Amino acid sequence: MRTPQTAPSRMHLAFAVLGLAFLGIFSWVFMQEFFAEWRTTQAQFRAIEGQVKDPHALSLAPPADGIRQIWLRDIDRVDRCTTCHLGVDDDAFVKAPQPFTTHSGTWLKTHPPDRFGCTVCHGGQGEATDYRDAAHQPIPHWSDPIRPRELIEANCGTCHREREPKEAFLLAAGRARIAEAGCIACHDLPGFSLDEVQAPRLESVGYKVRPDWLRKWLADPKAYLPQARMPNFRLEPDEIQDLTAFLLSQRQTTPLDASGVDWSKADADHGRAVFGEARCVSCHMIDGRGGTLGPELTTVGSKVRRDWLYSFLEDPMHDQPDTRMLRYRLADNDIRDLVAYLTEDLVDPDAATTPPAVGFLDPKQVEAGKQTFIKHGCFSCHRFGNLASTAKIGPSLMAIGDRTVEPSDFRGESADPTLENYLYLKLREPDKLAEDSRMPTFNFTEQEAATVVVALLSTRKADLPASRVTDAPAPKPYRPQGAFGALVSRYRCLSCHQVNGWGGTLSTVPLDRIGSQLQYAHIVAYLQQPYAIRVSVEARMPHFGMTADEARTIADYFSSVFVDDALEKPFAPAPDAARRGAALYTKLGCRGCHIIGQTGGYVGPDLSDTGHRLKPGWIQAWLAAPEKWKPGTLQPDYGLKPEEVQDLTAYLMTLSRTAAGRTP
């Protein structure tokens, strides 16, 4: 049988079928290209553009035809988002549907798209030209999807490294929380300093605390005091015993001698009066009232030993060189009475009355306690002799926002395995995600933990060009020398006040230009006998018991160093300026917030003694632009004209307690 030498017809059929299939598939390729998502989106846009714009505006608008991209040369990033988000910078599209809607707020004015693109703030894959790949929702293999609006401040923080970026409240709250919790003690974190960690030194703690209290405190600080800064280390009972023994064995600095004190003569009621006069409550809380700068004192009598407290009040810096507590100038008897008040009236009724004597401790247990102390990294916060220099106990968080997490990191928690969920769970319950985690439990509330997550997510690799980073310069330590320096140290001015951004934040009055704001005589008088400038504010300047010489030393320094020449202008008001100023004072309703004499509101400072208190240059500068001196102030900017400012100042300068017949 011969095989036919021409092709059989089934082969022709196969040709036809395969040829058609090939044509079909090839045209599918073309269709896919020419009906790409971005092309159809642009067609929709052109239709909407025709509706919202008049023909003239339409003719001026660049045609929406082709891929648009923004190239950020310095960070080598390409954003093609505007290929579809075509109306984002055009107010005509406020009511248009997404993706054409105008950008909300004034963000595009502060962050012009040609300099910032889109993904710098929002995240997402800028190179993509379709919805899915742009990572509007998380997609595999793109680590930086578009952040939900709730978390977008994490992206603000990558460039805005200052502690309180404007209009990023979650971020600011998170950073404040990080500073407060002292994360920097155990982790490397940019933007925070070890100087912010406040924990007492423990080298002499054996003389200070009672064993019962110490055990309770170590078991759970927040059970003793809900607002305690020390977190819960989840210690085992035997660890607590060892650690207690170790800490009680720490007796490096002997307290000042209190053996001569006749405690039988102590008068607790007088002590309570001293406590009130000295304004201790500005920093210390008792029964829920008072400041939080210093420790809470409701049951301090059951916490510390009497002799140590006496020594501490005589000289707080004796065994705590870094304390924020000032050294009052009090008579020995006043101190004795104060100690009596604190140790007799402020006690925990359930605690034992007298502590065991400071005595022998089992060296083995002390050594075990030392190991526990090292294991949990207690030295990270409580700087402790030669242990303090050890490397940080926790992993570095320098680029924590770039960390990748695996589902296995979640140890059975059913959460979506993202970094933000990991951080959140870790902050809330550190022991759940790692069995032997040494990270203590901070008892963050849900909201607190969420803000900390936002702040942590903003900490990315430091590869941004400097021109993109905004940061407040780190405050330089301010340590004045000489007689003034000694007084600043003794009275711990910088626990509450700031100089050049260095110092505490309890007072809202920085000292940088205080000499140009206050009159010399007022400074001298006020330092010796502080009174309430704002009657409704609880945290007031303490009554130091300062001598006149000391007050003058400080006032001299203020008046010659802490001055601002721009404020020191001669003030020569027109003769009837004060009268016009008085009328203006009434017209503007200043009495709503300020007291003069007996009447007025409690919001702003009492103005009764302004003529003796403030300098006219400062009053004028303040009234002209309050926001400039104190952002977010409650002093309204009335938009006063210069002559109105002058009139008002002239009136205020006439105010004086003595002139009104009142005692200074």
Partner 1 sequence: MTRCLRLPLRVALGLAVAVALGGCGRGRPAKRSEPLMDVFRKQAQEEGLTRAQTEGKRLFGQYCVTCHGDAGGGDGQNAYNLDPKPPVFQTSLTTHPRTYWRQIIEGGTASVGRSPLCPPWGHNLTASQIDELVAYLDALARPAPPTQPSAPAPKS
Partner 2 sequence: MPSLTAATRTVRSAWRSVFRVGWPRTDKDRTAAMISSFFLHVHSAKVKKHSLRASYTLGLGLISFYLLLVLVVTGVALMLYYTPHPPEAYRSMKDLQFVVTFGPVLRNMHRWAAHAMVLVVFLHMCRVFFTGGYKTPRRFNWVVGVVLFLLTLGLSFTGYLLPWDQLSFWAITVGSNIASYAPWIGDDLKYLMLGGHVIGSGALLRFYVLHCVVLPGAAMTLVAVHFFRVRKDGLSAPPQPEPSAIVEAAPGRFPASTRSYGLMALTDRPAQPVVESDPEDDEVLSWPHLLYRELLLLLAVLVVLHVVALVFNAPLEEIANATITPNPAKAPWYFLGLQELVHYSAFVGGVLVPGVIVLALVLIPYLDPKPRGVGVWFARERRWANWTFGAFAIVAVVLTIVGTFFRGPNWAWVWPWMR
Nearest one of 664, 517, 652 to 595, comparing CA atoms: 652
Instruction: Pick between residue 25 and residue 60 the one whose CB is nearest to partner 2.
Output: 25
Least distance in angstroms from the C-beta of 423 to partner 1: 8
Phi, psi of 599 (to 5 degrees): -110, 150
71 membership: H or E segment, kind and range: strand 70-72
Residue 130 CA to its chain's centroid (Å): 39
Give the one entry of partner 2, partner 1, none that residue 1 binds, where binding means its C-beta sits below a cut-off of 5 to 8 angstroms depending on kind: partner 2
Rounded to whole angstroms, how far apart are CA atoms 190 and 587? 50
Q: Which is nearer to partner 2, 3 or 536 (CB)?
A: 3
From the list partner 1, partner 2, none, which binds 14 (C-beta under 5 to 8 Å, kind-based)? Answer: partner 2
What is the closest distance, in whole angstroms, from the C-beta atom of residue 416 to partner 2 in the complex? 16
| Binding partner selected for residue 98 from partner 2, partner 1, none, CB under the kind-specific 5 to 8 Å limit | none
Closer CB to partner 2, 6 or 106, in the complex: 6
Tokens 């503007």 found at: 588
Residue 486 binding result from partner 1, partner 2, none, given CB thresholds of 5 to 8 Å by partner type: none
Kindly state the smallest distance separating residue 409's Cβ from partner 2, in Å: 11
- Residue 26 or 107: which CB sits closer to partner 2? 26
Which among partner 2, partner 1, none contacts residue 480 (Cβ within 5 to 8 A by kind)? none
> In Å, what is the CA distance from 649 to each residue of 577, 580, 631, 634?
9, 10, 21, 19
Q: How far is the CB of 479 from partner 1 (least distance, A)?
A: 27
In the complex, the smallest distance separating the C-beta of residue 46 from partner 2, rounded to whole angstroms, is: 20
Which of partner 2, partner 1, none has residue 574 at its interface (CB below 5 to 8 Å by kind)?
A: none
Of 58 and 509, nearer to partner 1 (C-beta) is: 509
How far, in Å, CA of 168 to CA of 161, rounded?
11
For residue 172, the one-letter residue type is A
C-alpha separations of 443 from 69, 93, 215, 226 in Å: 46, 46, 19, 10
- Tell me which H or E stretch contains 331: none
Count CB atoms within 10 A of the CB of residue 220. 17
d(CA 360, CA 227): 34
Looking at the Cβ atoms of 447 and 470, the one nearer to partner 1 is: 447
Output the CA–CA distances (angstroms, integers) from residue 372 to 240, 244, 378, 549, in the order listed: 9, 10, 9, 50
Show the tokens assigned to 266: 């102590």
Q: Which is nearer to partner 1, 134 or 258 (CB)?
A: 134
Beta strands in 520-618 (DSSP E): 595-596, 599-600
Q: Which is nearest to 194 in space by CA: 325, 26, 379? A: 379
Question: Considering the complex, what minimum distance in angstroms separates the CB of residue 526 from partner 1?
Answer: 20
Nearer to partner 1, 105 or 226 (CB): 105
CA distance 258 to 305: 12
Q: Considering the complex, what minimum distance in angstroms separates the CB of residue 53 from partner 1?
A: 25
User: Least distance to partner 1 from the beta carbon of 455, Å?
Assistant: 13
Which of partner 1, partner 2, none does 101 bind, CB closer than 5 to 8 A by kind?
Answer: none
- Count of beta carbons in the 10 Å neighbourhood of residue 490: 18
Nearer to partner 1, 227 or 547 (CB): 227
Instruction: Report which of 333, 363, 321 is spatially closest to residue 271, judged by C-alpha positions.
Output: 333
Q: Which amino acid is at 660?
A: A
Local structure of 289: helix, strand or coil: strand
Distance of closest approach, residue 415 Cβ to partner 1, in angstroms: 5
Q: At what angle do helices 169-181 and 446-457 cross, to 10 degrees?
A: 100
Q: Cβ closer to partner 2: 122 or 160?
A: 122
Measured from the CB of residue 227, what is the shortest distance to partner 2 in angstroms? 40
- Residues 591 and 604: their CA atoms lie apart, in Å, by 9
Distance, CA of 19 to CA of 505 (rounded, Å): 80
From the list partner 1, partner 2, none, which binds 593 (C-beta under 5 to 8 Å, kind-based)?
A: partner 1
Least CB distance from residue 634 to partner 2, whole Å?
49
Residue (of 469, 499, 498, 505) closest to 191 by Cα position? 469
User: Residue holding tokens 């990191």?
Assistant: 409
Residue pair 449/149 in contact (Cβ under 8 Å)? The answer is no
For residue 339, CA distances in Å to 270, 307, 342, 417, 581 come to 10, 9, 5, 55, 51
Among partner 2, partner 1, none, residue 80 binds (CB under 5-8 Å by kind): partner 2
Q: Are 610 and 654 in contact (CB under 8 A)?
A: no
Given partner 1, partner 2, none, residue 425, with its beta carbon under 5 to 8 Å by kind, binds partner 1
Residue 21, binding choice from partner 1, partner 2, none, Cβ under 5 to 8 Å by partner class? partner 2
Tokens of 101: 């809607």
For partner 2, which is the closer residue by CB, 78 or 194? 78
The full DSSP string for 214-233 is HHHHHH-HHHH-TT-SSPB-
Q: How far is the CB of 260 from partner 1 (least distance, A)?
A: 43
Residue nearer to partner 1 on the CB measure, 376 or 428? 428
Nearest C-alpha neighbor of 68 from the set 56, 59, 81, 54: 81
Residue 28 partner contact from partner 2, partner 1, none using kind-dependent CB cut-offs of 5 to 8 Å: partner 2
Q: Which does 420 bind (CB under 5 to 8 A by kind): partner 2, partner 1, none?
A: partner 1
Beta carbon nearer to partner 2, 141 or 149: 141
Residues at the site binding partner 1, with contacts judged by CB under 8 A: 105-106, 140, 148-151, 169, 414-418, 420-421, 423-425, 428, 446-447, 449-450, 453, 508, 534, 536-537, 586-589, 591-593, 599-603, 626-627, 632-634, 636-639
Footprint on this chain of partner 2 (rule: CB under 8 A):
1-3, 5-7, 11, 14-15, 18-19, 21-22, 25-26, 28-29, 32-33, 67, 76, 78, 80, 127-130, 133, 141-143, 404, 406, 408
Q: Smallest distance from the beta carbon of 617 to partner 1, in angstroms?
A: 21
- Name which of partner 2, partner 1, none residue 143 binds, using a CB cut-off of 5 to 8 Å depending on partner kind: partner 2
Query: Does residue 444 contact residue 427 with C-beta atoms inside 8 Å?
Result: yes
Smallest separation (angstroms) from partner 1 to the CB of 348? 28
For the chain, state the CA radius of gyration: 34
Say how far apart CA 243 and CA 378 lie, in whole Å.
10
Measured from the CB atom, the residue of 71 and 107 that comes closer to partner 2 is 71
